[in-house]
Chains A and B, each alone.
Chain A
Amino acid sequence: MSIDPAVILPAGLSYPPVAGNGDEVRDNEGHILPHWSYLLESIAELGPEAFSERQAKALRILRDDGATYNIYSDAKSPSRIWNLDLVPNIISSDEWGAVEAGLQERGELFNLLLRDIYGPGKLLRQGIIPAEALFSHRGFLRACHGITVPGEHELILHGVDLIRDDDGKMLVIGDRTQSPSGAGYALENRTVMSRVFPSLFRDSHVHRLAAFFQQLRNKLISLSPHSSRSRIAVLTPGPRNETYFEHAYLANYLGFYLVQSDDLVVRNGFLWMKSLDGLNRVDVLLRRVDDWYCDPVELRSDSRLGVAGLLEAVRAGNLIVANPLGSGVLENPVFLRYLPDISKALLGRELRLPSVQTHWCGEPEDLAYVLEHLPELVIKPIYRTSGISSSAGALLTQAELVELRLRILANPAQYVAQPVMAASYLPSFQDNQLLPRPAILRSFAVASNNSYSIMPGGLTRVGGTESEFIISSQSGANSKDTWVVASEPERLLESNSRGDDLQIREAENINLPSRVLENLYWMGRYAERAEASLRILRTTFMLLNGEEPLTPRLRQKFRAAVAKVTTTVLVGDLISDQDLVRQLQDGAVLSSIANNLNSMLFCADETKELLSSDTYRVINDIRDALADLNSTFTVARLSAPEEALDPLVTALMALSGLNHESMIRGFGWRFMELGRRLERATQSSALMNCLLSTVLPEPEQSRVNEALLLTLEGLISYRRRYGARTAIQTSLDLVLLDGDNPRSIIYQLTQMLAHVRKLPNSKGYLHELPPAERIMVEGSALVRLSSLNDMCADVDGTRLQLKNVLTELEALLLRASDMITDRYFDHREQSQQLVSSQWEGV
């Protein structure tokens, strides 16, 4: 019986039946399955337009959360907003129960397999796994032999990729045991879905994800070799990694530190995190760096992502790494070929959840079969690295097939082949309609007391087209939230926060890695530096557009000021605003601003885990304005070019305001403030020096003076205080000496002094001022003790005293910056191999 879909879905958004097998939404007779009907009805009711709006809202939330996925092949804009398709994948609770049991069983098996491979090697010795399959797999790390993890499980996290076979049954197509990614994205998807469809989500009785993450957190805490005050960190390769968002997101969600290679050091057989108050021991590392890269002493020697001596710390039992180093060996697809025997040997039975049929070319019969059936198979290398991918025989030309055959024959043991799997289809919202898209599900298991806890659902990914062949996030697939729906509402999870021993982070954040503090410091500096450039440009545009034309001398003066603040060279006279626009188009000035902003954005990425959604929104505004900056100035017919700069100035001000209003007054905030204040003092001083150190006749002097006040945001206050006519002496009073003016130099110095007083100091200073304080006091004194009269005195056309004070101040600020850098930031020496060679042991 065929059913007209319009009968079931009366409104605009219907989902047509999929031809052939593999429709996840309908049964064989074309009836919509019960667990899908509520969702599809709700979507239909909503209609395409409203659905589009929700999709846009989701995109906004993802963007504000900084949810990105970096595409390596796209060098120009590698950072993409995470793709979320708002139609969830729905799995009934009944079906999920069986899948869950299957995944637990598989987790147990892979755990035992891992233990055997790096322990007694029973399976190898008995010939159950072929010697070549293990010995020639690059994931088999001999250096990790004999290392064990305390507790029942070696394998802490296990990711499994599932599809539905022709009968609609779940089938495993691969395992992720290295450092399975995607759990954090699944959580983000869930968060967004529940915000975009609050009532639909609530009424659907979806199984929650929180318990899984709580289990992960508990498991990691329980692994710590030290019973109290454990410190747990997430090791990330850094912001350029494809899933960096997830690393930061998980670290935050779980309450762990996010660390990179340079934050860590091994000393006396323990792992330590470098922070402001010295070294803090790390007990457990949740690694998102592939094991092979984790220790340049014993593993990959040219790795910059690991820590020298890490493996020895693990061997000594002083550090637990999850997943354990060497666990990547389980991703070897050859094991799938022998899984029934492995399972019988280790569990005494075959697995309930079947795996995709796998042929290993290292086995002569398999090789013969594979070579004969190449066009029907997918050929995969047994070791997964970037740059080497699977080849689908069906998609290859005759010449490519020949080439593939030769490649296999040259090294048969390095390849497996699997049949092409026809994925099942899920509805996906594209082009304002629901279209069938092939789907794959990654499930996640975490070791719990005596079994594995499975995340209800997981991360569903769908192909971008109906015939998408290989679905992977790297090739731009879409993702979906996965709903395991119960017929009954789920009882709420009891909060399990039984005062665990995890060290509470002090309000002062004393334990932040030094790298994070350094990045916050530079984020403050770059933001302020960019702002100073924008401000002087804006002032110059306004003057050029003003009623009175600028005299040649003033034009020269402002050209010099722009050049000084933006540290660029400007050639030619600035007669009109168009000259400046042309100068901007030539690129040096704009790229100087862009460089500062890009550097600031880089620092923001490095400290991603500390930034709130609100902050991220502003950061995105800056990113947008920055992207528009060049195109803005290619339009020569700008009526008021200075206005084009306004959005950026506003965004930067918003950022500064947000930081001021919402950041905890910890060391992170202090360092960002220090950077900001130091840069502002430096820039203001440079500008004053440039504009005021030469005595000019009136009315030029007044115009320069006004321009300075305008740039330093002081013109309005000045006028209120002193009336319309400006004089140098009173201006200096406002921008140099007025402690109530947040843009005056003395204000910056006072704030900096207050900040450095709060920083930890080396011991041995009882009453003597520590160096950083001393330098700030020196700066304040220099400014405070200057007399306005002396500074304004005309010595052969120069305000000599002013010039001297500002020059000295600039030198002092430079020293202050060096001192902060030397004292508080880590200066990692370049490491090198004692014996250098190009060889890499496996």
Chain B
Amino acid sequence: MRYRIRHITEYRYANRVSHCYNLAHMIPRSTRRQTCINSRIDVSPTVAQGTRRTDYFGNSAYHFEIQKPHRELVITSSCEVETGSQIGDANLDIGRTCGEARKQMARARSEDVILAREYQLESSMIRADDQLRDFAKDLFSDERPLLTAVSDLTQRIFEEFSYSPAATTIATPIAEVMASRKGVCQDFAHLQIGCLRAMGFAAKYVSGYLETLPPPGQEKMVGADATHAWLSIYSPGEGWFEFDPTNNTMAGEQHIITAWGRDFYDVTPLRGVIFGGGSDPAMTVSVDVTRI
């Protein structure tokens, strides 16, 4: 599928910002099932310095510096992306069992496994937690096929947690999400990653967009799409597989990847340091994903 995406982020500040330094993860990366055909980022006010680079995780990172006083910052990221479906998602019941996979993760000396281990360790937003282990344990017995178990976990999260944008912020710890059983895509992705790591597997956080279709017979509203998040799990020798607990599905053509990392912190769409600005800047985000 080919998409045109426009992602606009606006900040309005109570006081003047004299200068700022930012890092954006807003340009889709190319992956095995996705090609970023073209992309551009426009920033208002004009940047004094802007640099694109590939970061440690292979994502496109855009650094910019603004030296002009401003009260409003607008970042518009536009791109065209060609996506495909995941390879090998036909039958989850064939493939490695949990037991084999766990053994491989712990012992194998192959480069892939070594590099995947980075995503098995604790990260800043996802700490090891007995609750997570207990939540997932019964699904991951040694003889079960790994991807089936992951799929079951995805379903369990989908069924036991309710989607509630008001319930959490980007700073809500997983333990709170566990307790309230509410959250958004980011929380569910973190939660499932935490469970998978507790089970001895490597899982990474994937940020991106999801194409949403309007109800039958209605026009799609501009800006109605949103940024989205899901996860990818490593099966030793087989590769990475993406699951979306918010929608109880494997990621498909409609899942467009921006960046991945160990958790949200590594791929925050926009972060930075501003000088001035006062308190509580107002942020609005609008995303349009259009098929072309």
Name A's B-contacting residues (CB within 8 A). 124-125, 127, 131-132, 135-136, 142-143, 145-146, 266-269, 296-298, 301, 308-309, 312, 315-316, 828-842
Contact = CB atoms under 8 A, between A and B. Distances in A.
Interface in B40-59: 48-49, 51, 53, 55-57
B171 A837 contact: yes
Given A135-B118, A831-B273, A832-B273, A308 B109 contact: no
21 contacts: A131-B114, A131-B117, A142-B57, A145-B55, A146-B56, A266-B21, A268-B65, A269-B49, A297-B23, A298-B23, A308-B21, A309-B65, A312-B21, A312-B65, A829-B275, A831-B273, A833-B274, A834-B22, A834-B270, A838-B171, A839-B265
A132 B277 CA distance: 41
Contacts of B124: 839-842
Nearest to B269: A835
A136 B56 contact: no
B24 to A, nearest CB: 10
Contacts of A312: 21, 49, 51, 63, 65
A120 to B, nearest CB: 12
Given A143-B55, A143-B56, A296-B273, 15 more contacts: A124-B115, A125-B114, A135-B117, A135-B118, A142-B55, A142-B57, A145-B55, A266-B65, A268-B49, A312-B63, A830-B276, A831-B273, A834-B274, A835-B170, A840-B265
B11 interface: yes
Nearest to B169: A837
A104 to B, nearest CB: 32
Assign chain B's interface to a size class: 35 or more
A839 B276 CA distance: 22
A597 B77 CA distance: 56
A832 B274 contact: yes
Given A124-B114, A841-B266, A297 B273 contact: yes
Given A309-B21, A841-B265, A829 B65 contact: no
Nearest to B116: A131
A842 B281 CA distance: 26
Q: Which 8 A-B pairs have the closest CB atoms?
A: A131-B117, A142-B56, A308-B273, A309-B21, A837-B171, A841-B265, A829-B275, A145-B56
B285 interface: no
Contacts of B11: 834
Contacts of B277: 832
Given A832-B277, A834-B272, A839 B21 contact: no
Highest count of chain A CB atoms <10 Å: which of B53, B266, B273, B277: B273
Contacts of B178: none
B273 A833 contact: yes
A353 B262 CA distance: 38
B49 A829 contact: no
A837 B273 contact: no
Given A132-B121, A837-B171, A839-B265, A829 B276 contact: yes
Contacts of A841: 123-124, 265-266
B111 interface: yes
A832 B20 CA distance: 10
A266 B19 CA distance: 10
A797 B268 CA distance: 73
A530 B100 CA distance: 77
Contacts of A145: 55-56
B75 to A, nearest CB: 11
A836 B271 CA distance: 9
A125 B111 CA distance: 5
Contacts of A839: 124-125, 171, 265
Contacts of B118: 131, 135
Nearest to A835: B271
A143 to B, nearest CB: 7
Contacts of A124: 114-115
A297 B51 contact: no
B53 A315 contact: yes
B51 A316 contact: yes
A263 to B, nearest CB: 15
B122 interface: yes
Max chain B CB contacts within 10 Å: which of A136, A309, A828? A309
B62 to A, nearest CB: 11
Contacts of B212: none
Given A124-B114, A132-B117, A829 B21 contact: no
A409 to B, nearest CB: 13
B117 A297 contact: no
B67 interface: yes
A266 B56 CA distance: 23
Contacts of A309: 21, 65, 273
A829 B109 CA distance: 51
A136 B125 CA distance: 14
Most central of A267, A297, A838 by chain B CB within 10 Å? A297
Nearest to A364: B106
B31 interface: no
Contacts of A298: 23
B38 interface: no
A301 to B, nearest CB: 8
B18 interface: yes
Contacts of A828: 275
A143 B117 CA distance: 19
Nearest to A296: B273
Contacts of A836: 171
A124 B19 CA distance: 40
Interface string B115-135: 101100111110000000000
B121 A136 contact: yes
A308 B21 CA distance: 7
Most central of A132, A145, A830, A841 by chain B CB within 10 Å:
A841
B189 to A, nearest CB: 15
Nearest to B262: A841
Contacts of B67: 267-268
Given A125-B115, A315-B53, A833 B272 contact: yes
A789 B56 CA distance: 80
A833 B273 CA distance: 5
B12 to A, nearest CB: 12
Contacts of B57: 142
A77 B121 CA distance: 42
Contacts of B22: 297, 834
B65 A267 contact: yes
A266 B21 CA distance: 9
Contacts of A127: 109, 114
Nearest to B67: A267
A145 B20 CA distance: 23
Contacts of A316: 51
A838 B63 CA distance: 22
A826 to B, nearest CB: 12
A301 B21 CA distance: 12
A123 to B, nearest CB: 11
